[in-house]
Amino acid sequence: MKRFNVAVLPGDGIGPEIVGEALKVMKAVGKKFSAEFVATEALVGGASIDAYGKPLTDEVLKIALGADAVLLGAVGGPKWEGLDYSIRPERALLALRKELGLFANLRPARIYDELIDASTLKPEVIKGVDLLVVRELTGGLYFGTPKGVETLPDGTERGVNTMVYTTPEIERIAKVGFEVARKRRKKLCSVDKANVLETTELWRKVVIKVGKDYPDVELSHMYVDNCAMQLIRNPGQFDVIVTENTFGDILSDEASMLTGSIGMLPSASIGSDKRRAMYEPIHGSAPDIAGKGIANPIATILSAAMMLKYSFDMNEASDLIERAVEKVLARGLRTADIMQPGKTKASCSEMGAAVLKELEG
């Protein structure tokens, strides 16, 4: 029996509802695959502010650092919006990412045939799309120095940000891209702006060098402006996209909107150490529907599936969860956010129970 310690941080709003369903699914899958997931639940975000006066306590950080992986719901809500930025719920996420050394963000965007009409794009363009954006999370324009705004002698102002990457930073994110591609369809597209930005010229050079260790993965390169266009024109051409922080921020949002259903999209943030990883839905705490029992738990359930694949090497178990979700959708069950005419409306717990039933059946 394999045993994995999971730090479970449900957070705020719909967090506890959706994480509860994901945990049930993990437990069921564990039974099937002789694995035990030992969950240590703790407060984070607004819930932690209410209890301890700060969004992330040292004790919770210690739980996260000691775990094999972290499952997070979502944080934030109107109750804490007036607080100083330094103690807002969202600070907990930044602190967790930093302390865990999470430098790669993985965001899959997959179109389910059953939900093809939820997209704003034509069905023939998005049918079968199943791509994943690997975004570098700790470098580039968002962190590079010098940065800031200065007042010049003539009274005008000058703003500066610096896009900076070192060879080791590019190597480690490129490796993640290749490794992830290996677990999928073995196609990696590295996105840069090497025709204009020297930093990304280096990016391309290093990615090509790392690629020599992955002869089984087909590597291609694309300029970011073209990629933004290709994602809309022909998203089916992509398997895994790897790119720097700012480009990845924009492209991963664009890619997720292809699906049109925010309640369905999982994500993972990973570091160099296999035991450093955090899995969470891409959506927020949805305060408008919190406590109503109508949230879609699928993004969190699929985040748990990603945990099995990327942290625990349980590919088969992960695929089983994904197939169970597909089957439930095919049976016509829908939470309110993805409801379509003629389908059956399900609450959060009914959706979770239906996935569980498919898994066990």
Does position 75 interact with ligand NAD (CB under 6 A)? The reply is yes
| Contacts to ligand NAD from residues 222-241, by CB under 6 A | none
* Residue 288 interacts with ligand NAD (CB under 6 A): yes or no: yes
Torsion, Cα of 182, 187, 192, 193 (10° steps): 170
The counts of H helices and E strands in the chain are 12, 14
Piece of 69-77, 161-169, 303-311, 321-329 that binds ligand NAD (CB under 6 A): 69-77
Distance of CA 214 to the CA centre of its chain: 24
- CA atoms of 344 and 306, how far apart (whole Å): 27
Spatial distance between the Cα atoms of 142 and 105, rounded to a whole number of angstroms: 15
> Which residues within the stretch 306-345 sit at the binding site for ligand NAD (CB under 6 A)?
337
The catalytic residue among 225, 288, 313, 319 is 225
- CA–CA gap between residue 37 and residue 7 (Å, rounded): 10
Q: Does 299 bind ligand NAD (CB under 6 A)?
A: yes
Q: Is 285 in the site for ligand NAD (CB under 6 A)?
A: yes
Distance CA 163, CA 199 (A): 7
Return the number of other C-beta atoms located less than 10 Å from residue 213's C-beta.
10
Considering only 284, 307, 334, 350, the residue that binds ligand NAD (CB under 6 A) is 284
Q: Catalogue the E-assigned strands of 261-305.
A: 266-270, 277-281
Q: Does 10 bind ligand NAD (CB under 6 A)?
A: no
- Choosing from 50, 253, 288, 319, the catalytic residue is 253
* 352 forms part of the interface with ligand NAD (CB under 6 A): no
Query: Interaction with ligand NAD in 168-187: which residues (CB under 6 A)?
Result: none
Catalytic annotation on 273? no
Binding test (CB under 6 A) with ligand NAD, winner from 129, 181, 286, 304: 286
Query: Would you say 79 or 221 has its CB closer to ligand NAD?
Result: 79
Min dist. Cβ of residue 249 to ligand NAD (A) = 13
CA trace torsion 326, 328, 333, 335 (10° rounding): -70
User: Of these residues, 193, 214, 239, 279, which one is catalytic?
Assistant: 193
Q: Which of 270, 267, 278 is CA-nearest to residue 69?
A: 278
Query: Is 86 or 145 the residue whose CB approaches ligand NAD more closely?
Result: 86
CB of 192 to ligand NAD, least distance (A): 27
Between residues 188 and 262, which has the closer beta carbon with respect to ligand NAD?
262
User: Which of 101, 211, 236, 287 lies at the binding interface for ligand NAD (CB under 6 A)?
Assistant: 287
Q: Which of 165, 249, 279, 310 is catalytic?
A: 249
When asked if residue 346 is in the footprint of ligand NAD (CB under 6 A), the reply is no
Whether 85 is a known active-site residue: answer: no
Using the Cα atoms of residue 254, residue 257, residue 259 and residue 263 in order, give the sign of their dihedral.
positive
Query: Considering the rule CB under 6 A, would residue 130 count as an interface residue with ligand NAD?
Result: no
Rounded CA-CA distance 16/6 in Å is: 15
C-alpha 14 chain-centroid distance: 17
Decide if 142 is catalytic.
yes
Give the separation between CA 78 and CA 82, rounded to whole angstroms: 8
43 binds ligand NAD (CB under 6 A): no
Q: Which stretch binds ligand NAD (CB under 6 A): 74-82, 131-139, 150-158, 194-202?
A: 74-82
Q: Does 77 bind ligand NAD (CB under 6 A)?
A: yes
- Which residues within the stretch 243-282 sit at the binding site for ligand NAD (CB under 6 A)? 262-263, 280
Please report whether residue 16 would count as binding ligand NAD according to CB under 6 A.
no
Torsion of CA 300, 305, 309, 312, to 10 degrees: 90
- Cα–Cα dist 74/9, whole Å: 8
φ/ψ (deg, to 5) at 43: -85, 145
- φ, ψ of residue 159 in degrees (nearest 5): -105, 140
**DSSP 8-state secondary structure symbol assigned to residue 244:** -
For ligand NAD, the binding residues (CB under 6 A) are 14, 18, 74-77, 90, 93, 262-263, 280, 283-289, 295-296, 299, 337
Catalytic residues: 142, 193, 225, 249, 253
